Amino acid sequence: MKKILSFLSLLFATSFLVACSSSNQPATTAELSSMPKIEGITYYGDIPKNPQKIVNFAYSYTGYLLELGLQPASYSLDLEKDSPAFGDQLKDALQLASSDTEAIAAQKPDLILVFAGDDNLETLKEIAPVIEITYGKSDYLQMLTDLGHIFGKEKEAQAWLDKWDDKVTDAKKELKGLIDEKTTFTVMDFFDKNIYLYGNNFGRGGELIYKSLGFAAPAKVQEDIIHKDGWFGVSQEALPEYIGDYVLVNVNDKTNQAAGSLKESDIWKNLPAVQTGHVIQVDYNLFYFSDPLSLEQQIDAFVNLIKEAN
């Protein structure tokens, strides 16, 4: 009898300890991402698969999040808010900098996105789980697949990529006969009155023209830009060395004056691309990013402008 009582007492005590231990475990409020290993992406903390409040400082990927049905609660650049491709999807978002740690904490985010090397990473990690992204490690289309894996949106990512393939095929058919496949393009914009040229991995239409549509850059652009840093500041005097058969000029209200000053110069007026009417001026606010939402509108605008130029 004593053995039975001892056994029952031990069983009761064990059950009590297990119950107490279970009651002290935190409740799981969100399914966690499987956190796939992806070059250029680092995770800090438990990443939710379906985050409800994302504070985003990796502004190049805002359009990717929106395409996957993930709504950022913040933005970093006016270019995000003013993007024609995003419409009013950021109207309720708050503009924040990664240094605004008190304001970020007040938002109670369940996920924060930052570019690699953010000075405030250590503090942000204490506020919420963080995804740190090294820009350029993933191709502009591969990035959609990568984010799809992280958030369990693989089907949505692949559906867009399939649709994009069809859209690019249709655009190439429309352009055939208007411009030769060997036509070269130069992509440029202005910053602080200076001229900048871009390769195939820094937005401004570079990914669309060089990668999706397959047009080439002039040899000098390939040598000094595409095979190096991806962007390049150039003087008016050196500009002719970098200009291809067509020039894609990104302009908005803030850079109109700088663009106008260049257009008045003899150097610009004497460029063959200018003299043949092969200057394609585009909306900087639309062409700045290379996310899915931006690309869809860029390709339509580009095809229409090429038709007008020919």
CATH of the domain at 212: 3.40.50.1980
Number of domains in the chain: 2
Residue 3 inside a domain? The answer is no
CA geometry: angle at 287 spanning 282 and 293, to 5°? 130
Residue 14 inside a domain? The answer is no
Residue 200 inside a domain? The answer is yes
Q: Where are the beta strands (DSSP E) in 157-219?
A: 185-191, 194-198
Expressed as residue numbers, the domain containing 242 is 171-309
Whether 148 and 110 share a structural domain:
yes
Global pTM reads: 0.88
Residue 127 inside a domain? The answer is yes
Are 45 and 129 contacting, i.e. CB atoms less than 8 angstroms apart?
Answer: yes
Whether 78 and 175 share a structural domain:
no
Residue 198 inside a domain? The answer is yes
pLDDT 10s per residue in the chain (310 long)?
A: 433 334 334 333 333 333 333 333 333 345 555 689 999 999 999 999 899 999 999 999 999 999 999 999 999 999 999 999 999 999 999 999 999 999 999 999 999 999 999 999 999 999 999 999 999 999 999 999 999 999 999 999 999 999 999 999 999 999 998 999 999 999 999 988 899 999 999 999 999 999 999 999 999 999 999 999 999 999 999 999 999 999 999 999 999 999 999 999 999 999 999 999 999 999 999 999 999 999 999 999 999 999 999 8
- Domain termination site, one of 156, 180, 196: 156
Whether 129 and 175 share a structural domain:
no
CA distances from 149 to 37, 49, 110, 207 (A): 10, 9, 18, 22
